[in-house]
Amino acid sequence: MRLPLIRCSHGLVALALFASAPGAVAGETATLSASTMDAMAQAATPQAIAEYRRKLQEYQEARAAFEEEAGAYWSAISEKRRTRNAKRRERQPITLDDYVLDQPPVYTGPKRPVSPVPEEEEEPSRPRKAIPLVADFLKAAAEQFQFRPQRPASEAEFKRAYARHALAAGLTREQAVRVYSFETGGSGNHDMQSGYRGPGTRAISTAIGYNQLLTTNTVELIAQQGHEFIKALTQKAATLSDPARTAMDHKIAVLRKMVAFARSVPDSWSAHERLANTPQGWAVHAMVLDIDVGPMLQTHKLLTSVIFARAKGYTRPLSAAELEMMNLTGDGTGFDMVTMPQAMREKVPTSNFFQRGGYQRNPVAIRHNTVAKLLAVTDERMDYNSNKPGAKELASVF
């Protein structure tokens, strides 16, 4: 969500670089009343209308010229990406010539003028689709699988479980703590949801926990790693006695059903995304809150990137910032960046790793507009947030 750049919204989308920052809530513009519009229409003089039409033509001409330039630029970005992918398949070296080295064009022409004769909206704007919250995932788990995740007695208990799984899987303390610091702002809990900070705030995605798993991440990991999770829980169950054994047996039975559900479609991000947007998918996502399954999910969110890099022959340990790039952008795109020599990182614009819409919605990638700058600001944010209480507590349990 792998996620964010490649798999969330058909192509690359905006990086969730500062997960701890509250999401901006867009204000809603009130629709003008019919009487107000009538009054404004009557006040519009012929001269004002003529001036508006002149400015509108200037705007349209300037915008059309910009769109032609921008269209050519982003077409070149796509073509270069296809070339790099083909060269990697043939195990050919990637060079600077395989990237667009110019920054994207920026529109500097006149703004669209405001009509002196406002028109009524032809269609009312569609209400924004509500993003489900933790309470919705818990409710779905109870309704769909008759299950409620076992929550940790304390945040420290969840951190200890996560650290244990992370170390056993081969992740380092530095990788785990610094990625946690970046994803949660250095103080997030196991049930922290992106953008949501209680009543009066709004979630900006379904991402939850230390490594901010989306619903689709969870469904995909349950499909791919679920049998390993079941094996681990079965081994733990053998050490328990009632009533803990009964509760664990129920959890294992529920997890088996969730695995069957997640594996009922082809192993692709788009197929898992469709499942994730159903009540059953929401229920599966509730497993990120469970003290036994949640730490394994959070660990494998990062581990899949490490495995991907190794499978491509990249044996050098990934820095935390490099791992975060793969965690955020998707393994293929992230791998493109982390295997790039430093000299190339200084020259290659971040736009090479986005679709146009995703780039334009991402002020961080625009401001830190080369691979080197993007990795540097990621490291900087990790440095800062690693000194916060949650990060220090996580570091102490490794």
Report the range of poorest mean pLDDT among 23-27, 144-148, 256-260, 293-297. Answer: 23-27
Query: Given this model, what pLDDT does residue 315 score?
Result: 84
Total domains in the fold of the chain: 2
Whether residue 392 lies inside any domain: the answer is: yes
Query: Given this model, what pLDDT does residue 138 score?
Result: 98
Tell how far CA 109 is from the center of its chain. Answer: 33
Query: Given this model, what pLDDT does residue 40 score?
Result: 52
Whether residue 178 lies inside any domain: the answer is: yes
Rounded CA-CA distance 170/3 in Å is: 21
pLDDT in tens, 45-63: 888 888 999 999 999 999 9
In this structure, the answer to whether residues 298 and 391 fall within a common structural domain is yes
- Using the 3D structure, point to which of 58, 78, 98 is the last residue of a domain: 98
In this structure, the answer to whether residues 89 and 171 fall within a common structural domain is no
Nearest to 190 by CA among 299, 291, 326, 323: 291
Query: Given this model, what pLDDT does residue 33 score?
Result: 54
In this structure, the answer to whether residues 380 and 265 fall within a common structural domain is yes
Does the pLDDT at position 125 exceed 90?
no
Whether residue 357 lies inside any domain: the answer is: yes
Q: Cis omega (within 30 of 0) on the bond before 243? A: yes
pTM: 0.79
Whether residue 116 lies inside any domain: the answer is: no
CATH assignment at residue 392:
1.10.530.10
In this structure, the answer to whether residues 79 and 171 fall within a common structural domain is no
pLDDT in tens, 147-174: 999 999 999 999 999 999 999 999 999 9
Q: Tell me whether residue 229 is exposed, middle or buried, using C-beta atoms within 10 angstroms of its C-beta: 0 to 12, 13 to 18, 19 or more.
A: buried
Rounded CA-CA distance 377/254 in Å is: 42
Whether residue 205 lies inside any domain: the answer is: yes
Query: Given this model, what pLDDT does residue 290 score?
Result: 98
In this structure, the answer to whether residues 146 and 55 fall within a common structural domain is no
Does the pLDDT at position 107 exceed 90?
yes
In this structure, the answer to whether residues 79 and 147 fall within a common structural domain is no
Q: Note down the domain range covering 278.
A: 4-8+130-223+258-396
Does the pLDDT at position 103 exceed 50?
yes
Whether residue 117 lies inside any domain: the answer is: no
Query: Given this model, what pLDDT does residue 193 score?
Result: 96
In this structure, the answer to whether residues 291 and 386 fall within a common structural domain is yes
In this structure, the answer to whether residues 142 and 274 fall within a common structural domain is yes
Whether residue 211 lies inside any domain: the answer is: yes
Q: Is 212 helix (H, G, I), strand (E, B) or coil?
A: coil
In this structure, the answer to whether residues 153 and 274 fall within a common structural domain is yes
Whether residue 22 lies inside any domain: the answer is: no
Query: Given this model, what pLDDT does residue 357 score?
Result: 87
- Using the 3D structure, point to which of 77, 98, 119 is the last residue of a domain: 98
Percentage of the chain exceeding pLDDT 90: 69
In this structure, the answer to whether residues 81 and 135 fall within a common structural domain is no
